Structure 1
Amino acid sequence: MAGRYRLRSRIGGGGMGTVWLAHDQLLARDVAVKQVVSTEGLSEESADNLRQRAMREGRIAAKLAHRNAIAVHDVALDRGEPWLVMEYLPSRSVAQILHTARTLDVDQAAQIGAQVADAMATAHTAGIIHRDIKPGNILVTTTGRDAGLVKITDFGISRAKDDTAANQSGVITGTPAYFAPEVARGADPGEASDVYSLGATVYTLVEGRPPFGVDDDSLALLHKVARARINPMTRADALEPVLLAMLEPHPDKRPTMAQARDRLARVAAGSRGSIQQVLTSPLRRPDGGTPVWAQRSPRPSRSHPTGTHRPVVTPTADDAPAATSTSDPATPRSSASPAPSATPRADVMSGPRPRPTPRPTWSGPSTSTTTVVLGLFALVALIAILVGLAVALL
């Protein structure tokens, strides 16, 4: 792609484009690349406007440098199509985590929200509005010393807050379940809209569903959001007053992103930690370990073309040694352990299992043995002939 980035495997995707793991052949590093928009079927003028907008938004996103934000390295044009080149991070999205865990503890949800708010406060200072904060755009690292680090990603539809050209099309971009009410009513997204979307995201982490529920009918969901009547919270506890402030229907009454960050961090810190520790530390359990949902699965995995994973089948006892790690370029290698079976296995070992010694089997005489036997038969026959001749002469 663009004569520089070699695509390796698909690692994600959605309504705004597909994300690929790629290798930057110039700088010899892995990156994530995303086709931001497609110009197929557009007039030359419309296509050029779309390219210019994508390049502008890429340059805007590249301004942001924060430990809790995925870095944008480049905006490349390939055959007239704009691609966003981003930092590649082995990670799991919060949406994927919720698919398994359903809900998160209040302190964990508050820390995730606080770290995202810290990155977005910096973004707002730089004049960048995200416009699509949601669980699917928040990543948690899964490998290395930074396991448990939170990062906001996908600034593909971000824009400068003074960029009036971005909304000339009249099309609302983003995810309806996490829209602010004013955006659902057609207003221009702003900093307060990002605060609302982050509040809706943290609400989802603790309650297990978005503030307005889930509806396959996007238009019906938009009407619910526009009315701004959220479902009552049942699990938020100390987070409830913070979320109610962030989910205030009127944008002028919401806290700034920096204020929301501090309030979320205070909930996460509780009586034992500090705000600075919450903002700079990876996610941890009370005992100091990394949460299970923020770790890589101990079983080897193989990526599907859709970006999902499946376990590698464990060999049976009589046809193969114990399982070894199998991964593609999109999945860093990890030590493997056999998948659990329905009944306990006494022969499962931590290392390679020795193959059984083959039993000897009779496959017939060898070539050398056959030659000796035939020679003996010939000698006996010759002796018999000579004896017969001697008797006849006598």
Structure 2
Amino acid sequence: MPGHDPRRGLDPVRVAEVMVRPLAGRGPGRRGSGYRVGLRWVLTAAHVVRGAEGGTAGVRFEADRAAEWTATARVVLASDKADVALLEIAGSVPLDGHATGPEPPSYGAVPDADVVLPCSAMGFPRFKLREDRMRLLDDGSASQYRDSCHATGITSVLSNRREGTLELAVTPPESDAEPDRSPWEGMSGAAVWHDGTLVGLVSAHHRTDGLGRLAAVRVERWYGLLTGTELAVLRECAGLPASASGLVRLPCPGTATPGPAALTHLPDRLPLRELNGLVGALTDLPAVRNPASLALLLDSVDPVVSAMSPRSPALRPDLFGILGTCLRYPGTLDQLLEAIRLLEGDSAGVARMDQEAVELSRRHRRADGNR
């Protein structure tokens, strides 16, 4: 593709599942996440590989897919202070379509300002543990595996300033069944992306922040926390710029976040494709997926909406019908979205809903202006 930068953005084939066997007699094995930043190099969090037996860990890519491969990797750098580690893969490795292997990503720094930015990360948290009934263990029970989680959300840049981390607000898992283990366990080491640029690594889930918040060590903090020798290793092997001034400086938006979009100007009939983005965002919200809370939301707006909406047992067709009814009664769609904000609170899902509403509003203001 002309002009395409192969370093830009999260590439799922480079996402690593990191498997650690601790020293004998020192507890069970651990799982973490990582990202391949070169032919033989994988970035992850230092605490994931702490105490690894023989100073090695297993890495797996594209699990249970046609391109799956696994390898042993040696820990060549692990800084507890910066919570970053670099692994070197042993043996033969795939080139992933590149003559010399995958290129390093672009590394960046977020603006230190009153902004809220979209972000994403991909890893293997504990709540993605699944049973594989096609593969039975010797005792007849089903084997287990962890599926991937593509966590998308927002980072409120001025949060966690004392800790020096990025706070990621993401869609939370629906349950927290193990009080002694975080459902996000195993997500540590996942690369955090904004605008196609690697800006951090997931480092912790603070239980007091709730299930929808993760903390990530910032790339720019590495320059103050790592030794000169450690930075030289990351520069040589992972493509990290020699100094913080070499990081991509991501632009600061003019406003922190767009305010809720007013939708009263929308026509009373829209093609379903125009509502698809907003419906997709709504289906990710727990308050909308739950029939009881959805009924409460509908009761909070004009009664004609709940009375006249075409109802379907399937959520997506139901939402298309609800939004279609709201469009015929100006102001009720804004009432519905405001009720959702009140019930859901500040979450990545609500931010996505608002983004879709803003885009829907802009499209039809432009359309009106072109008539």
What's the TM-score bracket when you normalise by the shorter of the two chains?
Answer: under 0.3
Q: Which has the higher strand share?
A: 2
State TM-score, norm by structure 1: 0.22
Q: Which has the higher helix share?
A: 1
Which structure has the larger Rg over C-alpha atoms? 1
